[in-house]
Amino acid sequence: MSLELLIVKCKKNNRKAQGELYSLYAKKLFTLCLKYSKSYAESEDNLQDAFVTILSKIKQYNGKGSFEGWMKRIVINTALQRYRKASVLDVIKDDDFLEEVVEIEVDHVSLEFLLSIIQELPDKYRLVFNLYVLDGFSHKEIAEMLNISVGTSKSNLSRARNILKDKIEKNEFKITKTL
């Protein structure tokens, strides 16, 4: 079944089509959830909420732009909503953060490890890091999405990078020690 047909059927509330859509995209979207959440359980909650939103608002998808992008946007919004509600996005003074490049020497690093240190990041750092580095949003867009200033977004990103770097380095150190 083509994606277009699937979407049409989903718009008509066809439960089978909805299931198909889910199995088609669950993995990709779940990955997204994992990055934006603190834990596996929270990611599942997010996926669940996001998919309910997707299926109940699918009529609003007008075929412009990629369907996957549309869904991703909903997943990200759902994740952000959680933290907007919890108002964890403290305002940080607009320092002039230069776009610094954080470099790191790595040998052995697993995806699981990277995911775990992302999840361990404080909420505001995690969100900005994900949005900017992994999902390609600009600081301006991030500032709008999170209702913070561009400066805050930049500073959060910089702090996130440094925290991640420290953790990776410590990990490297541990690994080299054991080797």
Task: List residues near other proteins by CB under 8 A.
Answer: 13, 15, 18-19, 22-23, 26-28, 30-31, 33-35, 43-44, 47-48, 51-52, 55-56, 84, 87, 101-109, 111, 114-115, 118, 133-134, 147, 161, 164-165, 168
Compute the least distance from the CB of residue 123 to other proteins, in Å.
16
Give the dihedral sign, CA 11/12/15/20.
negative
| Shortest Cβ 37–other proteins spacing (Å) | 12
From CA 148, how far away is CA 167, in angstroms rounded? Answer: 26
Q: Which residues contact 46 (CB under 8 A, 6 or more apart)?
A: 33, 36, 37, 75, 78, 79, 82
Least distance in angstroms from the C-beta of 104 to other proteins: 5
Q: Which is nearer to other proteins, 127 or 164 (CB)?
A: 164
CA torsion sign, 132 to 133 to 137 to 138?
Answer: positive
